[in-house]
């Protein structure tokens, strides 16, 4: 019996935490646990044996940090194969008869666009480790503790390249509000991961069992895939110099039945859990079988990193904005040719404001590198609008360039029945987990509906034979030009009905085509749209700026089962009334435009706008202090409210950095002069190589005029103190994201006091709490990156007293 079939019959127990257990057995603080696979194999084998004897059905290898980048922090990257091989063998010996899961943690660096690791490099790093685990015969691959969907995508694609039939579990880490630190919710994660062909979706770490019950429930209602959960034992505290999780193992285990009821097939533990927890939860769940689920079903879904759009029977009509397209638009095409994306981003914002539910992105301009343009456009758009994107190109290279930098489940526009197109597009749809628009044409466009349906059957058969299921396909039934092909245009409506009947699949059409060559085109387009929705059309590529189109969709939805109780129509009419009384206005003055530009992370426009402000006579220091700085402050507030996320902060900070670069020559020349705000030593503590939060903090503080010396990741206490002395630092800022490294903070604080150094210590990170900061004697606790600037400013005032 295989693991996946076994999961349908009974609840499986996954093992618990390794870090704390190994530290109790002598693992030095800050030492890589993975190295003990070679240095102290008896301790690793014993750990697996304890978990197996306690009742674990699945044990996870001690390889969370055994990838090239993370091992490089210890100079051990050359031992990668030996470490991973030994880990699998030790798990087999310690837990005979149990499933052995090969563990893969985050890269230990930051992927583009926020960081320097390209998508291809990320895939390569993950593939290198996973290949070793696969070659050693693991029963399952577990990719865990991911908060960035882009990094998870790279890891899953790497696993798919080498795993063969070995099952794959993908586990995201969510905070107490049910979102990752990049803004992804459980439903979006589940749908995206299902598209990438994972076998089990999961949640682990970050939060205790209470909030995680709802996360499990949301995962389980979004997919039929098995669900796994590994909660922490609450939040850690510093007690007598040790990191302690105060939640008892009995209390933690008591949540087991709630997880199963919520939809979990696998239950284990993360930070703070022990073999005693596994023993108790195995008893709690003995004899329980997986619950039957009510899963939201729809023919097709596509996502951004933070949103899902469904297309299908009974779902809201999908309005795909068509305006990011240079065809017939000279200025738009010229902006792309010049390497500018300001018009692309402006159209994206405007279409979203006018009610588009997704955006088609076409940047095809003759004599340009369309693949490069597409990659840049898709990267930039993600920080400007949350809407899912439709990647639209005739060139496979451009489609793949867009898919490589897109964290969600994109919709590809399009495939058709030409064999060459089928052979080119199908592999990338499968590899990147995308949905696809299937154009019902081949070498020519069939006039009759019956012939278009035959084309649909050919495309669908090819996709399914090559691993792309029907649930990822939406059929473009071809809205033909009624002035030239009247019968063909009428046959489109029959095609919509027949595709729905024959394949139970969603349909889409480009609406503006029908009216070409006729007067009053909007009237024709919207009349056809209403009729087509009545025939079963689920989505349209439309002009969202046309209010009559919006009204036509809303009215037609009343008669097509898409607006139960007429609620959406009524709400839209009420909103229309309010908007007519109080019209919203965008930024008008150059000051407002600069502020808005930073807030939206518009890196494409900031340099020109900053220069425009200077040309208008606005003082450089005034621009920095009164225009740019408030934008970053406001973004920090939005981050604290969970309305903006780490990618937005990174993009906004980079935008401000570009703007400040324009001001720098003037500020340095003494026109207002930039104030020396003091020096900060910033480091992730020894043993901890998570640094995305630290990196964002550094960028933001530098933009505010602080002199920040970034020592990097896994920095020994001695190096931190030496740098503080050499640079006469006012503040030492420390970050930690692992419970096993938290106590390194205390060592630094204690040594600062012992040496009576004239600097304050600021601490933060996902596992750090206000209580922990107070217990170790830190001067300031920073909850998140959004609060780092005000906390630093307040602390700097104390330094000067």
Q: For 429-444, how does the pLDDT look when each residue is reduced to its tens digit (9 = 90+)?
A: 999 999 999 999 998 9
* Domain contains 12: yes
Answer yes or no: do 79 and 119 share one domain.
yes
Domain co-membership, 421 together with 543: yes
Surface-to-core class of residue 231, CB atoms within 10 Å of its CB (0-12 exposed, 13-18 middle, 19+ buried):
buried
How far, in Å, CA of 682 to CA of 791, rounded?
Answer: 14
pLDDT exceeds 50 at position 580:
no
Confidence bin at 671 (pLDDT 50/70/90):
very low
**Does 662 map to a domain?**
yes
3-class secondary-structure state, position 151: helix
Q: 396 and 460 share a domain?
A: yes
Parallel, antiparallel, or unpaired for β 168-172 and 200-204?
parallel
Q: Is residue 674 part of a domain?
A: no
pLDDT at 298: 62
Mean pLDDT score across all residues of the chain: 90
Give the pLDDT confidence score for residue 633 in this predicted structure: 78
Q: What is the CATH number of the domain that holds 608?
A: 1.10.1240.10
The two beta strands, 236-239 and 242-245, are antiparallel
- Residue 730 clears pLDDT 80, i.e. is over it: yes
The pLDDT-based confidence of 670 (bands split at 50, 70, 90) is low
Residue pointed to by tokens 């960035």: 148
Asked if 414 and 558 sit in the same domain, the reply is yes
Phi, psi of 651 (to 5 degrees): -65, -45
DSSP-assigned states of every residue in 450-464: HHHHHHHHHHHHHHH
Q: What is the CATH number of the domain that holds 791?
A: 3.40.50.280
Percent of the chain, pLDDT > 90?
64
609 and 541 in a single domain? The answer is no
Residue 191 lies in a domain: yes
CATH code, domain with 463: 3.20.20.20
CA angle 585, 587, 592 (to 5 degrees): 150
229 SS3 class:
strand
| For residue 113, cis peptide bond before it (omega within 30 degrees of 0) | yes
DSSP class of 520: S
Domain check: are 319 and 172 in the same one? no
Same domain, 769 and 650: no
Residue 189: closest CA among 244, 228, 140:
228
pLDDT mean over 462-482: 95
Residue 639 lies in a domain: yes
pLDDT digits (tens, 9 = 90+) for 188-199: 999 999 999 999
What average pLDDT score do residues 114-125 get?
90
Q: Within 10 Å of residue 461's Cβ, how many Cβ atoms?
A: 10
Q: Is the dihedral of CA 489, 491, 496, 499 positive or negative?
A: negative
CA distance 131 to 84: 10
The pTM assigned to this predicted structure is 0.86
Q: How many Cα atoms occupy the beta-carbon half-sphere of 445 within 13 Å?
A: 16
Residue numbers of the domain that contains 279: 3-285
Where are the strands (E) in 416-538, listed by range? 435-439, 473-476, 507-510
Tokens of 706: 């602080």
Nearest Cα to Cα of residue 489 among 548, 535, 545: 535
- pLDDT of 62 reads 98
Tokens 């070995």 correspond to 166
For residue 582, is it within any domain? no
* DSSP annotation of 628: I
Cα–Cα distances (Å) from 770 to 237, 759, 787, in that order, read 10, 20, 13
602 and 741 share one domain: no
Which carries the bigger pLDDT value, residue 228 or residue 687? 228
Contact 557, 316 (CB under 8 A): yes
**Does 543 fall in a domain?**
yes
Q: Which of 87-101, 336-350, 726-740 has the lowest mean pLDDT?
A: 726-740
- Per-residue model confidence as pLDDT tens digits over 529-545: 999 999 999 999 999 99
**Where does the pLDDT of residue 585 fall: very low under 50, low under 70, confident under 90, or very high at 90 and above?**
low
Question: Is the link from the previous residue into 414 a cis peptide, with omega within 30 of 0?
Answer: yes
Mean pLDDT within 543-548: 94
4-40 pLDDT, tens per residue? 999 999 999 999 999 878 988 898 877 889 999 999 9
Confidence check: pLDDT of 672 > 60? no
Let me know whether 34 and 147 are in one domain: yes
Write the DSSP symbol of residue 780: E
**Residue 659 and residue 683 share a domain:** no
Q: How many domains does the chain have?
A: 4
Any idea what the CATH number is for the domain that residue 99 is in?
Answer: 3.20.20.330
Locate tokens 């033909």: which residue?
480
Q: Tell whether 706 and 649 lie within a shared domain.
A: no
Residue at which a domain ends, from 539, 573, 607: 573
Q: End of a domain among 530, 546, 573?
A: 573
Say whether pLDDT at 386 is over 90: yes
* pLDDT value of position 157: 98
**Alpha carbons 139 and 61: distance in angstroms, whole number:** 11
First to last CA, the chain: 70
Among 285, 320, 350, the domain boundary falls at 285
Query: Do residues 212 and 256 touch, judged by C-beta distance below 8 A?
Result: no
pLDDT-wise least confident of 55-64, 291-300, 341-350, 405-414:
291-300
What is the per-residue pLDDT for 692? 65
Those residues whose C-beta lies under 8 Å from the C-beta of residue 750, and which sit 6 or more positions away, are 776, 777
pLDDT in tens, 245-277: 779 999 999 999 999 999 999 999 999 999 999
| Full DSSP string of 274-331 | -HHHHHHHHHHHTT--PPP------SEEEE-SS-EEEESTTSPPEEEEEEE--TT-HH
Residue 580 lies in a domain: no
| Residues 370 and 476 both lie in one domain | yes
Coil, strand or helix at 439: strand
């Amino acid at each position: 019996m295989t693991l996946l079939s076994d999961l349908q019959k009974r609840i499986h127990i996954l093992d618990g935490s390794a870090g704390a257990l190994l530290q109790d057995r002598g693992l030095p603080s800050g030492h890589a646990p993975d190295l003990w696979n070679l240095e102290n194999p008896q301790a690793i084998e014993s750990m697996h044996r304890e978990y197996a004897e306690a009742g674990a059905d699945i044990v996870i290898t001690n390889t969370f940090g055994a990838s090239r980048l993370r091992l490089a922090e210890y100079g051990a990257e050359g031992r990668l194969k030996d470490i991973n091989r030994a880990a699998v063998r030790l798990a087999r010996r310690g837990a005979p008869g149990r499933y052995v899961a090969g563990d893969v943690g985050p890269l230990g660096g930051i992927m583009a666009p926020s960081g320097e690791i390209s998508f291809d490099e990320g895939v390569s790093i993950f593939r290198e480790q996973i290949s070793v685990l696969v070659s050693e015969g693991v029963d399952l691959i577990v990719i865990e503790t991911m908060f960035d969907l882009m990094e998870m995508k790279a890891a899953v694609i790497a696993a798919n390249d080498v795993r063969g039939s070995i099952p794959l579990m993908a586990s995201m880490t969510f905070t107490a509000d049910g979102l990752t630190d990049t803004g992804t919710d459980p439903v979006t994660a589940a749908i995206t991961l299902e598209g990438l062909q994972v076998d089990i979706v999961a949640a682990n770490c970050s939060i205790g069992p209470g909030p995680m019950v709802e996360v499990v429930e949301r995962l389980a209602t979004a997919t039929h895939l098995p669900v796994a959960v590994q909660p922490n034992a609450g939040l850690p505290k510093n007690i007598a110099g040790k990191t302690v999780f105060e939640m008892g193992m009995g209390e933690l285990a008591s949540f087991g039945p709630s997880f199963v009821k919520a939809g979990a097939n696998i239950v284990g533990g993360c930070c703070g859990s022990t073999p005693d927890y596994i023993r108790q939860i195995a008893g709690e769940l003995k004899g329980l079988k997986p619950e039957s689920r009510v899963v939201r079903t729809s023919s097709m879904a596509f996502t951004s990193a933070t949103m899902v759009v469904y297309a299908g029977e009974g779902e809201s009509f999908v309005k795909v904005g068509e305006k990011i397209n240079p065809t017939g638009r000279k200025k738009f095409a010229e902006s792309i040719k010049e390497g500018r994306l300001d018009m692309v981003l402006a159209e994206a914002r405007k279409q979203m404001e006018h009610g588009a539910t997704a955006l088609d992105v076409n940047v095809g301009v003759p004599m340009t590198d369309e693949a490069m343009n597409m990659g840049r456009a898709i990267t930039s758009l993600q920080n400007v609008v949350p809407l899912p994107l439709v990647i639209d190109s005739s060139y496979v290279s451009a489609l793949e360039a867009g898919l490589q930098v897109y964290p969600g489940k994109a919709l590809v526009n399009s495939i058709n029945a030409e064999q060459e197109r089928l052979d080119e597009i199908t592999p990338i749809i499968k590899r990147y987990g995308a949905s696809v628009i299937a154009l019902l044409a081949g070498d020519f466009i069939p006039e009759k509906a019956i012939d278009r349906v035959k084309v649909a059957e050919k495309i669908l058969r090819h996709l399914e034979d090559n691993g792309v299921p029907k649930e990822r396909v939406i059929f473009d039934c071809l809205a033909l030009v009624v002035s030239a092909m009247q019968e063909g245009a009428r046959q489109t409506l029959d095609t919509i009905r027949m595709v729905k009947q024959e394949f139970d699949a969603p349909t889409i059409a480009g609406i503006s085509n029908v009216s070409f060559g006729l007067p009053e085109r909007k009237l024709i387009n919207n009349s056809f749209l209403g009729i087509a929705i009545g025939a079963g059309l689920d989505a349209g590529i439309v002009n969202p700026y046309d209010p009559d189109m919006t009204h036509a969709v809303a009215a037609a939805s009343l008669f097509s089962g898409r607006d139960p109780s007429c609620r959406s129509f009524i709400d839209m009419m009420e909103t229309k009334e309010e908007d007519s009384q109080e019209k919203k206005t965008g930024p008008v003055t150059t000051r407002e435009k600069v502020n808005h530009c930073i807030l939206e992370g518009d890196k494409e426009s900031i340099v020109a706008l900053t220069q425009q402000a200077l040309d208008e006579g606005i003082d450089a220091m005034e621009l920095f202090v009164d225009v740019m700085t408030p934008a970053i402050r406001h973004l920090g507030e939005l981050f604290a409210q969970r309305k903006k996320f780490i990618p937005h902060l990174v993009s906004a900070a980079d935008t401000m950095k570009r703007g400040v670069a324009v001001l720098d020559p003037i500020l340095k020349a003494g026109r207002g002069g930039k104030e020396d705000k003091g020096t900060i030593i910033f480091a992730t503590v020894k043993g901890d190589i998570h640094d995305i939060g630290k990196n964002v903090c550094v960028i933001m503080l530098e933009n505010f005029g602080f002199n920040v010396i970034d020592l990097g990741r896994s920095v020994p206490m001695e190096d931190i103190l030496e740098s503080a002395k050499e640079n006469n630092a006012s503040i030492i800022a420390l970050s930690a994201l692992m419970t096993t490294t938290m106590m390194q903070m205390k060592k630094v604080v204690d040594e600062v006091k012992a040496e009576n150094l004239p600097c304050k210590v600021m601490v933060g990170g996902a596992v750090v709490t206000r209580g922990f900061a107070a217990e170790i004697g830190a001067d300031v606790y920073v909850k998140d990156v959004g609060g780092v600037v005000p906390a630093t400013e307040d602390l700097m005032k104390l330094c000067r007293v």
